[in-house]
């Protein structure tokens, strides 16, 4: 579509488009102000939306809903499919679960999409050609929220990564690249250390990439990748990564592009999608009419694209860019050179409304994509594989005397019995028995690896042997925390070795 045809698409839309019902929630802090500004702009375009407002956030937490959302709101969210959400303040202190994480996981919003583009010189950035999208896995990884204290000294957080979870987000990234005329997908992991979790993500990326020969694919270890992103973001196009890394990377990219107040984000699921600003509730500036509403305006445009109204999305984004170009800036992006009018939240919205139908002159305008069906990912069924139990790691809380691993080792060897054998003990992953180094610092948390006493290195173990071992450990008075069975899949080792094993 040519850009000239987007100046007044409303009459056509009004005659052909049925209204779409969406859910909105103001949230906390600056949420009320930026939502008002965003809805004023949406309404000024004549877009056909019906809003169902739900209450979420701090008040709901304090009303006794530990996830910050009332049970009735779920029905509205599930029925309407599209959700425009203001930021939420998660109260400090125990017992409160993050509402964002709860909504993303409960509604299967697996893909977090965060486009990030520089608007220089009007918004200062060192990288004028920066134009990238971070696609973050939204449901797994350390955000599974499974944490335990196991000994007086040690807590753990489980990092869960699944093959379907990896495949879905990686396919989404390639499909997104195709649908948005992007040329390259970069994967970032830490698979040199986490060979099984991050290793799975990287290997699925390699597999899926072969199905998209039209899109370049590369991979960075996350630490050097982040360094490149902070110093040379212009060379990236689409980045796909695991949940925690994506959370961090997308804030870095928003900041490097100019302001965390500008970015919008989409959380996409098969049925429901949620759209929000990248930033939080900004309690330090709430109620002052100074917050930049651009992030939520941007998110509302991502929502319009998602529900098949890309022309209106482009119309709003172009008016927003023109407003920035005309030097009309909120406090967070105002500067000496390009700011002609410092304005507040509602003033900025009024200036955007005045510019609806205009295109930016210097910044590349947004061209509406073809209205297409939202991306849907078909997963390949997981192939059946053989699975053989070859041992058990028993985690023990032990704090006797000088914590000499040799003492614990001798005691466990006696307990191992006839058909099991203590192979090693590690402390925080480092082998301390047999033949540990005296310099290794030991906590009260010991991982004790038992294998079959049969000669073969990877002889199978029966579950009964593990249960009998646990019984002997219990009778010996040792305090075991948990057992982690380990396996071979298709005859291949599917567990990590201890450092020094």
Where helices occur in 259-378 by DSSP H, the ranges are: 294-306, 310-325, 345-354
Where helices occur in 17-129 by DSSP H, the ranges are: 31-44, 58-62, 71-80, 99-106
Nearer to ligand NAD, 5 or 288 (CB): 288
Q: Measuring CA to CA, how many Å separate 190 from each of 92, 112, 198, 217? A: 30, 20, 6, 17
Asked about 190 being catalytic, the answer comes back as yes
CB contact at 8 A, 458 and 493: yes
Asked about 247 being catalytic, the answer comes back as yes
Q: Closest Cα to residue 426, out of 455, 454, 404, 446?
A: 446
Q: Rounded to an integer, what distance in angstroms lies between the CA atom of residue 371 and that of residue 148?
A: 46
The verdict on whether omega for the bond into residue 434 sits within 30 degrees of 0, i.e. cis, is: yes
Distance in Å, CB of 241 to ligand NAD, minimum: 18
Plot region of 22 (φ>0 → left; ψ -120 to 50 → alpha; else → beta):
beta
List, as one string, the DSSP characters of 245-306: HHHHHHHHHHHHHT-TTS-EEEEE-SS-EEEEESS---GGGTTTT-S--HHHHHHHHHHHHH
Q: Closest Cα to residue 111, out of 301, 307, 270, 294?
A: 270
Nearer to ligand NAD, 293 or 368 (CB): 293
Task: Report DSSP state, residue 91.
Answer: P
Distance in Å, CB of 115 to ligand NAD, minimum: 16
Q: Which of 105, 159, 190, 423 is catalytic?
A: 190
CB half-sphere exposure, 484, CA atoms < 13 A: 11
Nearer to ligand NAD, 346 or 483 (CB): 346
Distance in Å, CB of 371 to ligand NAD, minimum: 27
Distance in Å, CB of 87 to ligand NAD, minimum: 4
CB nearest ligand NAD: which residue?
A: 280
Distance in Å, CB of 139 to ligand NAD, minimum: 16
The residue to which tokens 């110093």 are assigned: 231
Distance in Å, CB of 343 to ligand NAD, minimum: 12
Nearer to ligand NAD, 247 or 488 (CB): 247
Torsions phi, psi for 114 (to 5 deg) = -130, 95
Nearer to ligand NAD, 244 or 377 (CB): 244
Q: Which of 61, 110, 122, 143 is catalytic?
A: 143
Distance in Å, CB of 34 to ligand NAD, minimum: 6
Q: Which of 247, 326, 332, 393 is catalytic?
A: 247
Q: Which of 75, 218, 223, 471 is catalytic?
A: 223
Largest CA distance in the chain: 84
Q: Rounded to an integer, what distance in angstroms lies between the CA atom of residue 66 and that of residue 60?
A: 8
Which residues are near ligand NAD by CB under 6 A? 30, 87-90, 100, 260-261, 276, 279-285, 291-292, 295, 332
Nearer to ligand NAD, 198 or 247 (CB): 247
Q: Rounded to an integer, what distance in angstroms lies between the CA atom of residue 119 and that of residue 117?
A: 7
Q: Rounded to an integer, what distance in angstroms lies between the CA atom of residue 477 and that of residue 21?
A: 62
Nearer to ligand NAD, 27 or 409 (CB): 27
Asked about 223 being catalytic, the answer comes back as yes
Angle at which helices 243-257 and 222-231 pack, to 10 degrees?
Answer: 10
Task: Report DSSP state, residue 35.
Answer: H
Nearer to ligand NAD, 87 or 269 (CB): 87
Distance in Å, CB of 251 to ligand NAD, minimum: 9
Q: Closest Cα to residue 495, out of 433, 443, 451, 432?
A: 451
Active-site positions? 143, 190, 223, 247
């Amino acid at each position: 579509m040519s850009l000239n045809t987007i100046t007044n698409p409303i009459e056509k839309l009004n005659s052909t488009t049925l209204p779409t019902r969406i859910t909105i929630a103001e949230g906390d802090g600056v949420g009320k102000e930026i939502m008002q500004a965003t809805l004023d702009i949406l309404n000024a375009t004549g877009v056909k939306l019906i809003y169902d407002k739900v209450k979420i956030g701090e008040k709901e937490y304090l009303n006794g809903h530990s996830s910050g959302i009332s049970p009735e709101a779920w029905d509205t969210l599930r029925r309407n499919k599209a959700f425009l959400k203001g930021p939420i303040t998660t109260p400090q202190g125990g017992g409160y679960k993050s509402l964002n994480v709860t909504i993303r996981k409960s509604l299967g919003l697996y893909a977090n999409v965060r486009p990030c583009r520089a608007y220089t010189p009007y918004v200062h950035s060192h990288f004028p050609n920066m134009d990238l999208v971070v696609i973050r896995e939204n449901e797994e990884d350390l955000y599974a929220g499974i944490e335990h204290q196991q000994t007086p000294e040690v807590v753990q957080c489980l990092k869960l990564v699944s093959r379907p979870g990896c495949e879905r987000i990686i396919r989404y990234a390639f499909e997104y690249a195709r649908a948005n005329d992007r040329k390259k997908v970069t994967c970032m992991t830490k698979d040199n250390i986490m060979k099984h979790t991050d290793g799975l993500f990287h290997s699925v990326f390699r597999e899926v990439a072969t199905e998209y020969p039209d899109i370049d694919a590369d991979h960075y270890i996350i630490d050097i990748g982040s360094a490149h992103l902070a110093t040379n973001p212009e060379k990236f196009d689409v980045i796909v990564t695991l949940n925690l890394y994506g959370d961090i990377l997308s804030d870095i990219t928003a900041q490097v592009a100019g302001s965390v107040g500008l970015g919008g984000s989409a959380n996409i699921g098969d049925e429901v999608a949620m759209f929000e600003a990248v930033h939080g509730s900004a309690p330090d500036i709430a109620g002052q009419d100074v917050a930049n509403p651009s992030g939520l305006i941007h998110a509302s445009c991502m929502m319009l694209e998602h529900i098949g109204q890309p022309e209106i999305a482009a119309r709003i984004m172009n008016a927003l860019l023109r407003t920035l170009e005309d030097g009309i800036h909120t406090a967070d992006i105002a500067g000496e050179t390009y700011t002609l009018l410092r304005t507040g939240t509602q003033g900025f919205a009024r200036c955007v409304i005045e510019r609806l139908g205009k295109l930016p002159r210097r910044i590349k305008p947004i061209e509406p994509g073809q209205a297409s069906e939202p991306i849907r990912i078909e997963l390949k069924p997981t192939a059946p594989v053989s699975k053989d139990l070859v041992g058990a790691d028993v985690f023990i809380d032990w704090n006797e005397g000088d914590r000499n691993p040799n003492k614990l080792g001798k005691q466990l060897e006696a307990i191992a019995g006839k058909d099991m054998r203590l192979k090693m003990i590690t402390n925080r992953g480092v082998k301390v028995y047999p033949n540990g180094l005296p310099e290794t610092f030991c906590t009260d948390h010991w991982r004790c690896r038992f294998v079959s006493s049969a000669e073969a290195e990877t002889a199978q173990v029966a579950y009964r042997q593990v249960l009998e071992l646990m019984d002997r450990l219990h009778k010996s008075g040792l305090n075991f925390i948990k057992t982690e069975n380990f396996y071979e899949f298709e005859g291949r080792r599917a567990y990590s070795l201890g450092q020094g094993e």
